[in-house]
Amino acid sequence: MTFLLGLTGSIGMGKSTTAKIFAAAGCEVWDADAAVHRLYSAGGAAVAPMQAAFPTAVVDEAVSRDTLKQIIGADHSALKLIETIVHPLLAQDRKTFRDQATSDILVFDIPLLFETGGDAAMDAVACVHVDAATQRTRVMERGTMSAAQFAQILAKQMPIAEKCARSDYVIETDTPDHAAKQVADVLKDIRTKIQNRKTPADA
């Protein structure tokens, strides 16, 4: 019996690090951002349909995220068209992962899990969080975006308090050791539920 665990959280909250902890503990992890990268890379399933919709978005046979950002900035309606192309391809990539996975617990690392309604397909959801000051420091130290860009991303995401309230598990990522202990507790609880969910014939 396979258990599907959604992993979410806001930018800079430590989700990627927590996903690695789950992976180190034996869970197979599907990373939404990595899946998009595969779809956009040369030979990826999204390249041809994206080129048909936005010819300038494909550079060196791959979809350019920077160009897409410029296109969306100039025409906000473009985002809807991009989503209609990418979301079905992501769903297929996720299904392929699920069909091929062998772990008892599969983790789906999806930043916008609640925003896209993806939580409905999960058996449970774990949300990572940290205080706002630490979050901002982490993001700014990356050096990949301005404070204004950070604010724009936060505005598009569901407030972290709401994400935590809607989740089955909440993991504080203030330190790696603390996060690892909480992951271990989550896995122990899930495996207990899996065992209790089995019928006598399964045992």
Q: Region 79-98: what's the mean pLDDT?
A: 94
Tell which of 102, 125, 140 closes a domain: 102
For residue range 20-42, what is the model confidence (pLDDT) as tens digits?
Answer: 999 999 999 999 999 999 999 99
**Same-domain check for residues 89 and 125:** no
Query: What band does 200 get if pLDDT is binned at 50, 70 and 90?
Result: low
**Same-domain check for residues 75 and 114:** no
Query: What band does 106 get if pLDDT is binned at 50, 70 and 90?
Result: very high
Query: What band does 187 get if pLDDT is binned at 50, 70 and 90?
Result: very high
Has residue 156 got a pLDDT over 90?
A: no
Has residue 68 got a pLDDT over 90?
A: yes
Q: How far is CA 168 from the centre of its chain?
A: 16
**Same-domain check for residues 182 and 114:** yes
Tell which of 81, 102, 123 closes a domain: 102
Has residue 4 got a pLDDT over 60?
A: yes
3-state DSSP of 12-65: CCCHHHHHHHHHHCCCEEEEHHHHHHHHHCCCCCCHHHHHHHCHHHEECCEECH
Cβ distance 7 to 110 under 8 Å? yes
* Count of structural domains, the chain: 2
Question: Which pLDDT does position 144 carry in this prediction?
Answer: 85
**Same-domain check for residues 77 and 138:** no
For residue range 109-152, what is the model confidence (pLDDT) as tens digits?
Answer: 999 999 989 999 999 999 999 999 999 999 999 988 889 889 88
For residue range 157-177, what is the model confidence (pLDDT) as tens digits?
Answer: 899 999 999 999 999 999 999
**Same-domain check for residues 39 and 85:** yes
- Please state whether the predicted TM-score (pTM) of the whole model is above 0.75: yes
Mean pLDDT of the chain: 93
**Same-domain check for residues 59 and 98:** yes
Residues of the chain above pLDDT 70, percent: 97
Tokens of 133: 């000051």
Q: Provide the residue range defining the domain that includes 40.
A: 32-102
Question: Which pLDDT does position 100 carry in this prediction?
Answer: 96
Q: 53 in a domain, yes or no?
A: yes
